[in-house]
Structure 1
Amino acid sequence: MDVLDALRNRVSVARLSGPAPSAAQREQLFAAALRAPDHGQLSPWRFLTIEGAARERLGDLFAQALAARPGEVKADALEKVRKSPLRAPLLVVVVACLQDHPKVPHQEQLLAAGCAAHGLLLAAHGLGLGAMWRTGAMAEDPLVSKGLGLQSNERIIGFVYLGNVEGERRNPRALAVEDFVQPWNEAALS
């Protein structure tokens, strides 16, 4: 698949089925992710793969985190969050590994890890797989971070759900470039 075609036509796919990507496909997915912009060659990312019964354990961790929040949590909300990792045969937790560096601020490292996640999505599209990048409250929850073994300098960028496209892949919505790009008018500074 042509890279420009992949960039223009990649869409998020919410309905995913098994099997999980093969070892050869994973090699290609992660090789693409590792080509993200990387100022200072810090490689400020790592990836956790979650599949099989580990998805159920992640769902239990999500439910535990939700139940630990202040206030009453309804049983249906707990069940929904518990089942959320089962939406795909493979989840990849994209983790930003922030390092103190005199020329590369944490913000840039977070963006680099986000680019690595985008690389996973593009590679999945190129391989004919479906993918969905999800964040939400669980990506910010300290109990989830601890349960996943993250260090104090690490942040969850997102959960990338991977599998086979179930049904028809939707077409991307049309966006007009001119609605988002304009020349800078330095006269506005006066």
Structure 2
Amino acid sequence: MTRVIGGAAGGRRIGVPAGSGTRPTADRVREALFSSLESEFGSFHGLAVLDLYAGSGAIGLEALSRGAATVVLVESDRKAAEVIAANIKVVGLPGATLLTRPVEKVTAGDPPPGFDSVFDLVFADPPYKLETAELQDVLTDLVTHGWLADDAVVVVERGKREPWDWPEGFAALRDRKYGEARLWYGHRHGQGDGEVPG
């Protein structure tokens, strides 16, 4: 079990998938991530958030708890998706959509039918074994198929020793290491020059 840290659903306990197939972002990493992003956005109110390789859904549901208007969670593993569905009910807030499909198949097309917004914030926490080039292709597809706002921020979580290079269309903001994980912050290329505060 883990918990929602802040916002309307703060303190609620949410499940995590059993086994080693998923690797939930540690609470302290999630807390640092959202503190940093709140400095960037000022507020999550009204944001559209995309949580790729969602695992337990903790990142997306944290954003929903803190005021995001829309959260789309993408997870290919059916057992993990069942956990996410249960966690959505625990959080009890409107605006969450779960897609149980491989991330690369979802992002290779247009946003889901009926979704009339672009995403302001994307979080991608793939299995560490996923090749860098595969994740770069996913992010490139987000741009190609019109998923992202012009000023969208993207956060990628990788192992601390895993290499990461932003694909064309993105610019690096900064990175920060937390234990065995490293968070890489980026944004749509040409959309500002500042860093995400730490």
By percentage of residues, which structure has more helix?
1
What TM-score does the superposition give when structure 1 sets the normalisation length?
0.29
What TM-score does the superposition give when structure 2 sets the normalisation length?
0.28
Q: RCO greater where, 1 or 2, for CA within 8 Å and sep 6 or more?
A: 1
Larger Rg belongs to: 1
